[in-house]
Structure 1
Amino acid sequence: MSAKPNNAVPLVLAIGQFDGVHRGHQAVFRAAVESANRCRGIPACLTFSPHVAQLLNPAHAPLLLATPGQNQALICACGIQQIHVIPFTHEFAAMGPEDFLSLLKMEFPALSEIVVGRNFTFGKDRAGNSATLPGIAQALGLRAQIVPHIELDGAPISSTRIRAAVQAGDMPLAKAMLGRAFSLAGTVVHGRAVGRTLGFPTANLRPALPIRPAPGIYAARLHLPDGPQPGAAFVPDPSDPAQAHFGPVVEIHVPGLARNLYDQEVEISFTRRLRGHMPFPDAASAAAQIARDADAALKADAQENR
């Protein structure tokens, strides 16, 4: 865990995996911040690394929606003042629900309240849940607050639903559940410079995570220190042998952007899928389509962010 908080100040602890920090997670953090304000305490977050499924069921572990750095920035933006990370090990996973809460009480003597989502489970074999948590917490002198689901279209918002929307290329749906556009973080690397030879230079992002939107062309934004720049992004299809030469990168052309971005850490956020992949008979045809894509991307960005 990270450094312990001031034991003289009550600690309100939001607990969960919080992958992607979607609107449901944000509701948990809002509740923790409001509780901390009422008791003049500190709103904090407790999460786990690696992802629980990566340890317990690695063959079926989900693709993560955000890097640790992205998650931490998003959590802090919700008003959380401290982030504590538990190394999730087999020994830790074998701990019973009561032992888990006792450990928290020992690690955080000023702990006064635990805040979780309704689908929260804890302890060996998920023996603890939102129904049993209040009683176990009360026995240790703690309060427990269970935050209801946030729903969209009649179903709870979840990282699973967001992941499916991203992989289907439905970026507006992903945004509606995240509360922001889905983005990939990574490093700008050298490419083949084909776009440059056509008059449309691209920044080639090697994302830190394997998740990708569905292959195709997107209205997107390149996020730089001086602000976001709209453009057209290309997500290659790894299952298409004709696109294998692109490798794991995601490319984005930003009209009017001319600067060296190599080795910089940046993000690309995705607004809307414009079309799928199409082959071109010659360079002139490719250049003409890229120009149309860039124009469509700028129009989509202006419409989305007006």
Structure 2
Amino acid sequence: MQVHTDWHGLPEAARGATLALGNLDGVHLGHLAVLAAAHQARPDLTLGALTFEPHPREHFRPDDPPFRLALLPAKAAILGAHGARHVIALPFGAELAAMSAEDFCQSVLVEALGVRHLACGPDFAFGHRRGGDVTLLGQFAEAHGIGLSIVPHVKDAQGAISSTRIRRLLQDGYPERAAAMLGRDFAITGAVTHGDARGRTIGFPTANIPLGRHLEPARGVYAVLVTLPDGRVVKGVANLGRRPTLGGDPISRLEAHLFDFAEDLYGQELGVALVHFLREERKFPDFSALVAQIQADAAEARTLLG
């Protein structure tokens, strides 16, 4: 799987594909249905996905809190695991924001990508001020001999699966429900940075991972599965929050303690999947009370993870 971040001068291998279109934040079950439809319509063609980086909302509302479910490397890896051979992440800035829907179809889809089949959800919108919709896309595709699959929303008992619903569930402390819509556990991916090493003094060393542009889920303690760069998955317990008992931090951090693990992880990129929410963040009367609770949290996480 290859990631392309410039639509100018794409290699021939990335052209003439069948493409899934969308922001694809989180790559949930609805997005995977679009990807599957692109492949099923033209299994003879290379399968790819076309998305935008950064997410258009980040361009238009840069002061909003981070909200992303998956940053580009994780998004591309998920798409690749489901068959995409090329992920084209169009750089969303002033040029693309000002491009009309018709110009987008002609310049990007036809001239740059030479696309032969497209798949998208019924709400896909594109072009300047979201001036293009599936009706315009269908008319353009028909005029240029391009196939088009409009994929209905994937639904559960509460309605259409969406990134918005998943974000809300994570912020409310329901990672299991979010996982059901994602098709996997929600994970925060990032490089391990140096902390204050307080955990080492009590036998609970942690890998500290900044949230960066990720959505901030409910603050508290989670049972986690940590994926290492070599593919190993290690069980653990993690705190996500601002550590009020230790004086408080200006921004939230993710601190993951890996069970029965003693290797150096500084600078390495980990994926920390939030599997179960154990409890909300709270301030303890003293450090010894915090340590006792950490020990109880670790024991509960071990039990839940099996």
Residue 115 (structure 1) aligned with residue 134 (structure 2): no
Q: Secondary structure at the match of 2:266?
A: coil
Residue 80 (structure 1) aligned with residue 105 (structure 2): no
Aligned sequence identity (%) = 35
Q: Contact 2:121–2:150 (CA<8 Å) still a contact in 1?
A: yes
Q: Secondary structure at the match of 2:223?
A: strand
Q: Contact 2:117–2:146 (CA<8 Å) still a contact in 1?
A: yes
Residue 145 (structure 1) aligned with residue 157 (structure 2): no
Counterpart position of 1:12? 18
Please give the per-residue CA displacement for 1:236-264, whole angstroms capped at 9, x wherever unaligned.
148x5965248542112223211211111
1:33-44 correspondence runs (5 A) = 33-37=39-43, 40-44=44-48
Root-mean-square deviation (CA, aligned residues, Å) is 2.3
Structure 1 distance, partners of 2:104, 2:206, is 49
Report the CA distance between 1:300 and its aligned residue.
Answer: 1.3
* Aligned with residue 235 of structure 1, among 231, 240, 256: 240
Aligned amino acid, residue 5 of structure 1: E
Report the CA distance between 1:6 and its aligned residue.
Answer: 4.3
Q: Secondary structure at the match of 1:192?
A: coil
Counterpart position of 1:98? 102
Q: Contact 1:20–1:64 (CA<8 Å) still a contact in 2?
A: yes
Structure 2 distance, partners of 1:199, 1:62, is 32
Q: Contact 1:184–1:267 (CA<8 Å) still a contact in 2?
A: yes
Structure 2 distance, partners of 1:56, 1:140, is 31
Counterpart position of 1:190? 194
Report the CA distance between 1:138 and its aligned residue.
Answer: 0.6
Residue 292 (structure 1) aligned with residue 277 (structure 2): no
Structure 1 distance, partners of 2:265, 2:246, is 27
1:210-249 correspondence runs (5 A) = 210-224=214-228, 225-237=230-242, 243-245=247-249, 247-249=251-253
Report the CA distance between 1:281 and its aligned residue.
Answer: 4.1
Structure 1 distance, partners of 2:61, 2:288, is 49
Q: Structure 2: any 5+ residue segments left out of the alignment?
A: 1-5
Q: Contact 1:222–1:230 (CA<8 Å) still a contact in 2?
A: yes
Query: What is the TM-score of this pair, normalised by structure 1?
Result: 0.89
Q: Contact 1:199–1:287 (CA<8 Å) still a contact in 2?
A: no
Q: Structure 1: any 5+ residue segments left out of the alignment?
A: none
* Aligned with residue 35 of structure 2, among 12, 29, 34: 29
1:144-163 correspondence runs (5 A) = 144-163=148-167
> Do the aligned partners of residues 226 and 143 (structure 1) sit closer, same or farther apart at CA in structure 2, a change above 3 Å counting?
closer
Query: What is the TM-score of this pair, normalised by structure 2?
Result: 0.89
Report the CA distance between 1:60 and its aligned residue.
Answer: 4.5
Please give the per-residue CA displacement for 1:29-77, whole angstroms capped at 9, x wherever unaligned.
111122231xx11111111222112223334576111111101101111
> Do the aligned partners of residues 63 and 10 (structure 1) sit closer, same or farther apart at CA in structure 2, a change above 3 Å counting?
same
Counterpart position of 2:281? 277
Counterpart position of 2:3? none
Aligned amino acid, residue 123 of structure 1: G
Aligned amino acid, residue 113 of structure 2: F
Give aligned pairs, total.
297
Structure 2 distance, partners of 1:187, 1:146, is 38
Structure 2 distance, partners of 1:169, 1:216, is 9
